[in-house]
Structure 1
Amino acid sequence: MSRPLLFMRPAAQGFAVTLLVALAGCGASSSRETANPSEPVAVAPSVVPQGEIAEVRQSTVKRMLMKPAAMPAPSVASDAIAAGYRAEPREQYEKLPDNPIHSVIETPVSTFSVDVDTGSYANVRRLLNQGSLPPEGAVRLEEMVNYFPYSYALPTDGSPFGVTTEVASSPWNPHTRLLRIGIKASDRAVADLAPANLVFLVDVSGSMDRREGLPLVKSTLKLLVDQLRDQDRVSLVVYAGESRVVLKPTSGRDKVTIRNAIDQLDAGGSTAGASGIELAYQMARESFIDKGINRILLATDGDFNVGISDFDSLKQMAVDQRKSGVSLTTLGFGVDNYNEHLMEQLADAGDGNYAYIDNLLEARKVLVDQLSSTLAVVARDVKLQVEFNPAQVSEYRLLGYENRALKREDFNNDKVDAGEIGAGHTVTALYEIVPKGAPGWLEPLRYGSAPQSQGTSGELAMLRVRYKPAEGGSSRLIEHPIASVQDDRKPSDDLRFSAAVAAFAQQLKGDGRYTGPMTLKDTAQLARSARGDDPFGLRAEFVQLVELAQSLEPAAKR
Structure 2
Amino acid sequence: MKSKTILCCVALAAVTAGCSKPGGNNYSTPSYEASDTAEAGLVTPDASGEKYKPNAISPVHMVADAPVSTFAVDVDTAAYANVRRFLTQGRKPPVDAVRTEEMINYFRYDYPLPSDREAPFSVTTDVAQSPWNQETKILRIGLRGYDLPYARRPAANLVFLVDVSGSMDEPDKLPLVKSALSTLADNIGREDRVAIVVYAGAAGVVLDSTSDPSEIKAALDTLSAGGSTAGGEGLQLAYSIAREHFIKGGVNRILLATDGDFNVGITDQKELETLIEHERDDGITLTTLGFGQGNLNDSMMESIADLGNGNYAYIDSAMEAKKVLSEELASTLFTIAKDVKVQVEFNPAYVSQYRLIGYENRALAEQDFDNDKVDAGDIGAGHQVTAIYEVVPAGTKGWMSDRRYTDNRRTAQTSGRQDGELAFVRLRYKLPDGDTSRLIERPVDARQLATHSLPQGDMAFATAVAAFGQKLRGDTRLGDLGYADIRRLAGNADGYWRQEFIKLTELAEAGQVPAASRRGWIG
Q: TM-score range by the shorter chain?
A: 0.7 to 0.9
User: Counterparts of 1:390 and 1:548 in 2: how far apart (Å)?
Assistant: 41
Out of 41, 49, 67, the position equivalent to 1:108 is: 67
User: Counterparts of 2:69 and 2:235 in 1: how far apart (Å)?
Assistant: 35
Identify the residue that residue 329 of structure 2 maps to in structure 1.
Answer: 371
SS of 1:421's equivalent in the other structure is strand
Identify the residue that residue 207 of structure 2 maps to in structure 1.
Answer: 247
1:271-282 map, 5 Å: 271-282=229-240
1:407-422 map, 5 Å: 407-422=365-380
1:521 aligns with 2:484: yes
**Per-residue deviation at 1:482?**
0.6
User: Counterparts of 2:188 and 2:316 in 1: how far apart (Å)?
Assistant: 23
**Per-residue deviation at 1:492?**
3.1
Cα distance change on mapping 1:316 and 1:175 into 2, 3 Å: farther
Out of 416, 419, 438, the position equivalent to 1:476 is: 438
Out of 167, 171, 180, the position equivalent to 2:131 is: 171
Identify the residue that residue 350 of structure 2 maps to in structure 1.
Answer: 392
1:356-367 map, 5 Å: 356-367=314-325
**Per-residue deviation at 1:454?**
1.6
Identify the residue that residue 439 of structure 1 maps to in structure 2.
Answer: 397
SS of 1:210's equivalent in the other structure is coil
Identify the residue that residue 176 of structure 2 maps to in structure 1.
Answer: 216
User: Counterparts of 1:392 and 1:171 in 2: how far apart (Å)?
Assistant: 20
**Per-residue deviation at 1:388?**
0.4
Deviations 1:474-517 (Å, cap 9, x if unpaired)?
A: 1100000011212135633111111111111111122x411011
1:465 aligns with 2:427: yes
Out of 497, 509, 512, the position equivalent to 2:461 is: 497
Deviations 1:428-466 (Å, cap 9, x if unpaired)?
A: 001110000001112224344332222322110000000
Amino acid at match of 1:455: R
User: Counterparts of 1:471 and 1:180 in 2: how far apart (Å)?
Assistant: 30
Identify the residue that residue 228 of structure 1 maps to in structure 2.
Answer: 188
Out of 388, 410, 418, the position equivalent to 1:456 is: 418
Amino acid at match of 1:134: P
**Per-residue deviation at 1:471?**
1.9
SS of 2:349's equivalent in the other structure is coil
1:95 aligns with 2:54: yes
1:494–1:530 Cα contact (<8 Å) kept? no
User: Counterparts of 2:75 and 2:62 in 1: how far apart (Å)?
Assistant: 28
Cα distance change on mapping 1:176 and 1:555 into 2, 3 Å: closer
Amino acid at match of 1:116: V
User: Counterparts of 1:186 and 1:332 in 2: how far apart (Å)?
Assistant: 28
User: Counterparts of 1:456 and 1:160 in 2: how far apart (Å)?
Assistant: 27
1:160 aligns with 2:120: yes
Amino acid at match of 1:300: T
1:285–1:324 Cα contact (<8 Å) kept? no
Identify the residue that residue 550 of structure 1 maps to in structure 2.
Answer: 509
Amino acid at match of 2:322: R
Cα distance change on mapping 1:201 and 1:386 into 2, 3 Å: same
SS of 1:412's equivalent in the other structure is coil
Amino acid at match of 1:192: R
2:130–2:454 Cα contact (<8 Å) kept? no
Deviations 1:393-425 (Å, cap 9, x if unpaired)?
A: 000111111111111111111000000000000
Identify the residue that residue 506 of structure 1 maps to in structure 2.
Answer: 470
Following TM superposition, the consecutive aligned residue runs of length 4 or more in structure 1 with deviations greater than 4 angstroms are 309-313, 555-558
Matched-pair identity in %: 55
**Per-residue deviation at 1:91?**
0.6
1:301–1:338 Cα contact (<8 Å) kept? yes
SS of 1:124's equivalent in the other structure is helix
Out of 126, 132, 153, the position equivalent to 1:193 is: 153
Identify the residue that residue 402 of structure 1 maps to in structure 2.
Answer: 360
User: Counterparts of 2:435 and 2:445 in 1: how far apart (Å)?
Assistant: 32
Amino acid at match of 1:453: S
Cα distance change on mapping 1:546 and 1:316 into 2, 3 Å: farther
**Per-residue deviation at 1:473?**
3.2
**Per-residue deviation at 1:556?**
6.0
1:277-296 map, 5 Å: 277-296=235-254
1:23-38 map, 5 Å: none
Equivalent residues, number = 465
SS of 2:48's equivalent in the other structure is coil
1:38-187 map, 5 Å: 88-158=47-117, 159-187=119-147
Amino acid at match of 1:257: E
1:398–1:431 Cα contact (<8 Å) kept? yes
Unaligned runs of 5+ in 1: 1-86
Amino acid at match of 1:187: D
Deviations 1:244-294 (Å, cap 9, x if unpaired)?
A: 00111112xx22111111111111111000000000000000000011100
**Per-residue deviation at 1:100?**
1.5
1:295-334 map, 5 Å: 295-309=253-267, 313-334=271-292
User: Counterparts of 1:122 and 1:315 in 2: how far apart (Å)?
Assistant: 26
Out of 181, 191, 198, the position equivalent to 1:238 is: 198
User: Counterparts of 2:227 and 2:267 in 1: how far apart (Å)?
Assistant: 16
1:493–1:530 Cα contact (<8 Å) kept? no
User: Counterparts of 2:463 and 2:455 in 1: how far apart (Å)?
Assistant: 11
User: Counterparts of 1:100 and 1:491 in 2: how far apart (Å)?
Assistant: 23
Amino acid at match of 1:408: E
Cα distance change on mapping 1:451 and 1:348 into 2, 3 Å: same
User: Counterparts of 1:509 and 1:88 in 2: how far apart (Å)?
Assistant: 16
**What is the TM-score of this pair, normalised by structure 2?**
0.87
SS of 1:202's equivalent in the other structure is strand
Identify the residue that residue 52 of structure 1 maps to in structure 2.
Answer: none
User: Counterparts of 2:514 and 2:395 in 1: how far apart (Å)?
Assistant: 41
User: Counterparts of 1:364 and 1:208 in 2: how far apart (Å)?
Assistant: 20
1:308–1:314 Cα contact (<8 Å) kept? no
Out of 242, 247, 262, the position equivalent to 2:220 is: 262
Amino acid at match of 2:297: N
SS of 2:476's equivalent in the other structure is coil
**Per-residue deviation at 1:316?**
4.0
User: Counterparts of 1:508 and 1:490 in 2: how far apart (Å)?
Assistant: 22
**Per-residue deviation at 1:392?**
0.4
User: Counterparts of 2:411 and 2:70 in 1: how far apart (Å)?
Assistant: 23
Identify the residue that residue 36 of structure 1 maps to in structure 2.
Answer: none
**Per-residue deviation at 1:215?**
0.3
Cα distance change on mapping 1:453 and 1:489 into 2, 3 Å: farther
Say which is worse superposed, 153-162 or 163-172, in terms of deviation.
153-162
Identify the residue that residue 73 of structure 1 maps to in structure 2.
Answer: none
**Per-residue deviation at 1:148?**
0.6
Unaligned runs of 5+ in 2: 1-45, 519-523
Amino acid at match of 2:483: L
User: Counterparts of 1:128 and 1:310 in 2: how far apart (Å)?
Assistant: 36
User: Counterparts of 1:311 and 1:295 in 2: how far apart (Å)?
Assistant: 21
Q: CA RMSD for the aligned pairs?
A: 1.5
User: Counterparts of 1:127 and 1:363 in 2: how far apart (Å)?
Assistant: 17
